[in-house]
């Protein structure tokens, strides 16, 4: 009796012989799905080396069987776009050019690195101007050394990248921007609005604003678990603080050069017991801080 033919639906990775047509990647926690020919479309690139020379069993996989690459998951989308079309379209005022240049070098894509060179040259030319600059846009592919001098200048040294950034006299090279602090709390107020009103609960202190500013001000006291892995130039309204003292948050903002420019508050009241007339007040307040 003839044996039935082997089903074509069996994934090649199960036998560790060859790669499937559709590849699932886990790049720094971000999941990408693409075709196998896309990954080997540029001979000599790192992805070509991984997926044409090696077999599936030799590559690291996560617990769901996706091939794992320990690189920047956010920027990999541009690497993949380039491998699909041999061109890349970046958003206006793209602040991650330096980091993307580093990814292009890592994945051995010299043509992509050349496309990014004009933006890198534009960044270098800023060194001759007395204007503010976002230090996060400096290329991480260059081993830079920052030397803060008494002349209120920052000397940046690296291979083929000498640069001196000068700030205006008496000023500091810090980013301007807004940070909003949101605070929710509740307390019980007794009969006749007694003065010994007792706070029952202090909830989270929320932080809204630009990622880089929030991290600069609050550092390790910032809880990012509800909105992880966001790039620094983006905004969030889901961060909160690991402490619940408003004054502590205000002190940190003041130390960073911020001052309050606005605030607003809303509240609701509920009666807890008909005979005691005790009331629970719940309030939500926002404080807006700004640094020039």
Predicted confidence (pLDDT) per residue in 185-203, tens digit: 776 666 555 545 555 566 7
Q: What is the mean pLDDT of residues 265-273?
A: 72
| 3 state SS of 44 | coil
pLDDT (0 to 100) of residue 257: 92
Token pair for 67: 């091939």
| Alpha-carbon gap, residue 61 to 67, rounded angstroms | 4
Per residue in 136-168, pLDDT tens? 444 444 444 444 444 444 444 454 555 544 444
Band the pLDDT of 123: cuts 50, 70, 90: low
Query: φ, ψ for residue 122 (rounded to 5)?
Result: -65, -40
Q: What is the mean pLDDT of residues 8-20?
A: 55
| Alpha-carbon gap, residue 292 to 284, rounded angstroms | 27
Q: Is the overall model pTM greater than 0.75, yes or no?
A: no
Token pair for 256: 């960073």
Which of 254, 253, 227, 256 minimizes the C-alpha distance to 240?
Answer: 227
Task: Give 194's contacts (C-beta < 8 A, 6+ positions apart).
Answer: none
Walk me through the domains of the chain, giving residue ranges and CATH numbers.
22-116 (3.30.710.10), 177-190+200-291 (no CATH)
Q: Do β-strands 30-35 and 22-27 pair in parallel, antiparallel, or remain unpaired?
A: antiparallel
Sheet of strand 30-35, all strands in order from the earlier edge strand to the far edge = 30-35, 22-27, 67-69
Per residue in 52-86, pLDDT tens? 876 778 889 999 999 999 999 999 999 999 999 99
Token pair for 65: 């069987």
Give the whole-number percent of the chain exceeding pLDDT 70. 66
């Amino acid at each position: 009796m003839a044996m039935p033919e082997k089903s074509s639906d069996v994934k090649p990775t199960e036998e560790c012989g060859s790669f499937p047509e559709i590849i699932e990647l886990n790049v720094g926690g971000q999941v990408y799905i693409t075709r196998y020919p896309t990954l080997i479309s540029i001979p000599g690139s790192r992805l070509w080396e991984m997926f044409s020379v090696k077999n599936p069993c030799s590559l690291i996989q996560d617990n769901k069987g996706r091939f794992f690459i320990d690189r920047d998951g956010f920027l990999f989308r541009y690497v993949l776009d380039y491998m699909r079309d041999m061109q890349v379209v970046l958003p206006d005022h793209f602040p991650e050019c330096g980091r993307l240049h580093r990814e292009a070098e890592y994945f051995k894509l010299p043509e992509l690195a050349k496309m990014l060179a004009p933006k890198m040259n534009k960044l270098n030319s800023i060194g001759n101007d007395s204007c503010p600059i976002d230090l996060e846009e400096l290329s991480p592919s260059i081993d830079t050394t920052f030397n803060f001098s008494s002349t209120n200048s920052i000397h940046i040294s690296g291979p083929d990248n000498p640069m001196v950034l000068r700030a205006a006299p008496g000023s500091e090279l810090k980013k301007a921007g807004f940070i909003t602090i949101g605070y929710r709390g509740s307390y019980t107020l007794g009969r006749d609005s007694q003065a010994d009103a007792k706070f029952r609960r202090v909830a989270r202190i929320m932080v809204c604003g630009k990622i880089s500013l929030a991290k600069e001000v609050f550092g390790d006291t910032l809880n990012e678990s509800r909105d992880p892995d966001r790039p620094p130039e983006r905004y969030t309204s889901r961060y909160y603080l690991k402490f619940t003292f408003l004054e502590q948050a205000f002190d940190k903002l003041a130390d960073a050069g911020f001052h309050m420019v606005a605030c607003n508050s809303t509240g609701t009241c509920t009666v807890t017991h008909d005979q005691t007339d005790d009331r629970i007040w719940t309030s939500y307040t926002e404080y807006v801080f700004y640094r020039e």
